[in-house]
Amino acid sequence: MGRRILLVGTLDTKEQEFAYVRELIVARGHDVLLIDAGVLADPTTLVPDIAASEVARAGGATLADLRAQNDRGAAVETMLAGLEALVPALYAERRFDGVLGLGGGGGTALATAAMRALPVGVPKLMVSTMASGDTAPYVGVKDIAMLYSVVDVAGLNPLSQRILANAAGAICGMVEQEIPPGADRPLIAATMFGVTTPCVNEVRRRLDEAGYDVLVFHATGTGGRAMEGLIADGYFAGVADVTTTEWCDEVVGGVLSAGPQRMSAAGRLGIPQVVSVGATDMVNFGPLETVPAAFRGRTLYRHNPQVTLMRTTPDECREIGRRIAERLNAARGPTVLLLPLRGVSMIDAKGQPFHDPDADRALFDALRAHVRPPVETAEVDAHINDPAFAAELAGRLLGLLEARTGTRAGEAPHRAAARPG
């Protein structure tokens, strides 16, 4: 059965390329839904399904006004807002199964903004002149595939035709691919760092035995943001937030902050969560020479040639504890804070380079002082990577899940659809 692919781009400058890709997709038996986000002129031969004037209206302006203003920046912002409003609504109506964009800097900004507004799992492919550089602003934390155009997306030639044909084939393959049937078990989100791996592996094993699938996120800033986005999209029955290290980078100024909204989504939705303080003994920087001069005299640990860790101080730990408590206190659902009293990471154990009982005590005392009921604070006289701690954390989360009406092992919660049914 044929699928429908959304093509998003600026037909004022890319009409020929979109016509070529559209023809290839249709030849494979799929339909096309074409959105024009170009402002400069109307297409001459290719008729879009959704015209630029409709995109402009959705963004809060008229196309005539944008053309009269002759302000490229303002026009891009308006059309971007229009796409962010239109594309998710079209997907909610099951009007398309995957999306393909073609463009340079402006076209990439427009198309990927629309892609980021879609759920994870919807096929997304962007052919771009920007794909060989820093793609983080375009991809964000969504599953957007970026294909470097090599030459500018400006006319058809033997090289550009090959690359555009590859893109057409790729997006067709993505929408054609079915997911093999399997057990539809409820999902748990968990956070992990290398220095908390033994704990998370044991938690995952215990939850798997209880009938849950655990999705583990690497707490590297983007990992935390990705988890927050998927929680907000309704994918998870519960959260085992073992590794909250991203708060260290947010508070102190490291390179792996997940932003000030970390630990918000589960609480906002009332999802059961057990939270700990994994790897809150460290701030992350790049290679040793990139550590800011103000921190050069601190306790540093060369994790690998690309990563340097800095031990958090008691004062920093107090503020980290306060920030975590602030997020936990805002939770609307069952929440447990679980503290490992003998260390929060592999290198915070006794005899290890980050072992600092005073800093750990400052963290724990701040949490005890600021966390308020109904959040429950529990303590385990163990290191975070001891099996006893993992057993307690998994048991606490299972207890919260079993106590919540309608969420049992083997029963899947609502999830955002990965593709139209």
| CATH number of the domain bearing residue 34 | 3.40.50.12020
The answer to the question of residue 413 being in a domain is no
Boundary (domain end) residue, out of 117, 151, 176? 176
* pTM, two decimal places: 0.81
Question: pLDDT tens across 360-378, in order?
Answer: 999 999 999 999 999 999 9
The verdict on 229 and 170 lying in the same domain is no
For residue 256, give the nearest of 310, 318, 214 by alpha carbon.
310
The answer to the question of residue 408 being in a domain is no
The answer to the question of residue 182 being in a domain is no
Q: Give bridge partners of residue 190 from the DSSP assignment.
A: 216, 240
* CA atoms of 138 and 112, how far apart (whole Å): 6
Write the CB contacts of 158 (distance below 8 Å, at least 6 apart in sequence): none
The verdict on 365 and 219 lying in the same domain is yes
Look up the domain containing 8 and give its range. Answer: 4-176
* CA atoms of 151 and 296, how far apart (whole Å): 44
The verdict on 29 and 163 lying in the same domain is yes
The verdict on 386 and 325 lying in the same domain is yes
The answer to the question of residue 416 being in a domain is no
The answer to the question of residue 419 being in a domain is no
Q: What pLDDT was estimated at residue 420?
A: 35
Q: Quote the crossing angle between the two packed helices 11-27 and 158-176, to the nearest 10°.
A: 60
Q: What total number of domains does the chain contain?
A: 2
Q: What angle do CA 240, 207, 396 make, to 5 degrees?
A: 55
Q: Is the pLDDT of residue 416 over 60?
A: no
For residue 395, give the nearest of 227, 274, 217, 279 by alpha carbon.
274
The verdict on 19 and 81 lying in the same domain is yes
The answer to the question of residue 80 being in a domain is yes
Q: In what order do the strands lie in the sheet with 238-241?
A: 213-218, 187-192, 238-241, 273-275, 335-340, 376-380
The verdict on 166 and 244 lying in the same domain is no
The verdict on 299 and 381 lying in the same domain is yes
The verdict on 160 and 198 lying in the same domain is no
**DSSP 8-state class, residue 33:** E
The answer to the question of residue 114 being in a domain is yes
The verdict on 161 and 252 lying in the same domain is no
Question: pLDDT tens across 263-306, in order?
Answer: 999 999 999 999 999 999 999 999 999 999 999 999 999 998 89
Query: pLDDT confidence of 404, banded at 50, 70, 90?
Result: confident
Boundary (domain end) residue, out of 151, 176, 201? 176
Boundary (domain end) residue, out of 120, 151, 176? 176
Question: pLDDT tens across 193-252, in order?
Answer: 999 999 999 999 999 999 999 999 999 999 999 999 999 989 999 999 999 999 999 999
* CA atoms of 131 and 375, how far apart (whole Å): 45
The verdict on 158 and 265 lying in the same domain is no
Q: What is the CATH number of the domain that holds 350?
A: 3.40.50.12030
Q: Is 196 helix (H, G, I), strand (E, B) or coil?
A: helix
The verdict on 172 and 198 lying in the same domain is no
Give the residue-averaged pLDDT of 336-350: 97
The verdict on 312 and 206 lying in the same domain is yes
